[in-house]
Amino acid sequence: MRYFHGLYAILALSDRWGLTLGLDTGSQQEAKGSSATDWWVNPQAVLRYQVSDRVSVAGRVEYYDDRNGVIVSPTGAGFRTLGLSANVDWSLRDNVLWRFEARGFDSRDDVFTERDGTPKDDNFALTTSLAVGF
């Protein structure tokens, strides 16, 4: 049996500033019929600033702790990873959003890989996305 819970608070700090605080957590039986459970947790915070009617910037910090490999495949110390990101959102139209994001992760174990397959404990990416709502 697996249980999952997501709790989020979205706060308007002012006309331009917003803060989202989140906590995802869950548990899973170690085996069918067992009373022993494994837990994971993912706290996160996002601070957002509305630059103009169409542009906003945000920073995010999150931590993922899955020591028993319930959600992420087991690693030596369990999956314990810190994530930091910064993004710029540009609303091209009311239903079209273009995002540019820089995101980095740092883990206790070598859970990421170099292009040549060499294991490492950190990862960094620059990405962009386009979202269209219908």
Question: What tens digit of pLDDT does each residue of 98-127 get?
Answer: 999 999 999 988 888 888 989 899 999 999
CA atoms in the 13 A half-sphere facing the CB of 117: 0
Percent of the chain with pLDDT over 90: 75
Mean pLDDT over the full length of the chain = 93
Percent of the chain with pLDDT over 70: 99
Structure tokens at 116: 């040549």
What's the pLDDT score for residue 73?
A: 76
pTM value?
0.85
| pLDDT, mean of residues 88-107 | 96
Structure tokens at 35: 């009373």
What's the pLDDT score for residue 25?
A: 95
Q: Is the pLDDT of residue 58 over 80?
A: yes
